[in-house]
Amino acid sequence: MRLNINSKYYEINSESDTPLLWVLRDELGLTGAKYGCGIGFCGTCAVLIDGKARRSCITPIGELSGKNMIITIEGLSENGLHKLQKAWLEIGVSQCGYCQPGQIITAVELLNENPNPSESEINDKMSGNICRCGTYNKIRQAIQIAAKE
Ligand code: FES
Ligand code: FES
């Protein structure tokens, strides 16, 4: 099958029940999306599929086709850093960094749907993304900064 990832087509050799995360990391070497829980709970593996943040650890590639536009954290900065990535850097959100690709991908979906979210709307949207380092306040601040851009 073919998949459209970061605006390029890739021939994929994995079985159709293989989770997208495995294909990205092991077959294509796109290691930005991280393995956390593997059961759709933590959000660290999130990628954009047709503009929606989806958990790639529980998305079998058989559910996808070349018509779906998949964007990983690598693809987000192909034309320069996304405004969320700039805001992340501006206030130094990351600590260990492990959860941050999934956090940023989820924040992209949020701003796509709601360019000027309230604090509670940010909290609601981001509540499914776990950060063991507790960077939640800075994540919220960075989203607010990016929303003003
Ligand atoms: S690794 Fe996919 S949601 Fe946790
Ligand atoms: S920055 Fe370490 S888990 Fe979020």
Walk me through the domains of the chain, giving residue ranges and CATH numbers.
2-76 (3.10.20.30), 83-148 (1.10.150.120)
Q: Name the residue of 89, 95, 104 to mutate for ligand 2: max ligand atoms within 8 A of Cβ.
A: 95
Instruction: Tell me the mean pLDDT in the region 17-25.
Output: 98
Question: What is the mean predicted confidence (pLDDT) over 65-81?
Answer: 94
pLDDT: is 85 or 79 the higher one?
A: 85
pLDDT in tens, 29-60: 999 999 999 999 999 999 999 999 999 999 99
pLDDT recorded at residue 64: 97
Residues lining ligand 2, Cβ inside 6 A: 94-100, 131-133, 135
Q: What average pLDDT score do residues 88-95 get?
A: 98
Name the pLDDT band for 79 (thresholds 50, 70, 90): confident
Contacts with 138 (C-beta within 8 Å, 6 or more apart), sequence order? 91, 92, 93
Looking at the CA of 59, name the nearest ligand: 1
Integer angstrom CA distances of residue 48 from 3, 68, 133: 13, 10, 24
**The total number of residues written for the chain in this structure:** 149
User: What pLDDT score was predicted for residue 78?
Assistant: 86
Residue 57 alpha carbon to ligand 2 centre in Å = 18
Spatial distance between the Cα atoms of 105 and 64, rounded to a whole number of angstroms: 19
Residue 96, number of CB atoms within 10 A of its CB: 10
Ligand 1 pocket test, pick from 23, 31, 44, 59 with the greatest ligand atom count within 8 Å of Cβ, gives 44
> Could you give the CA distance from residue 121 to residue 14 in angstroms, rounded to a whole number?
38
* Distance of CA 16 from the midpoint of ligand 2 (Å): 31
Cα 37 to ligand 1 centroid, rounded to whole Å = 5
pLDDT, average across residues 16-27:
98
pLDDT grade for 135, boundaries at 50, 70 and 90: very high
Q: Could you identify the atom of ligand 1 that is nearest to the CA of residue 57? A: 2
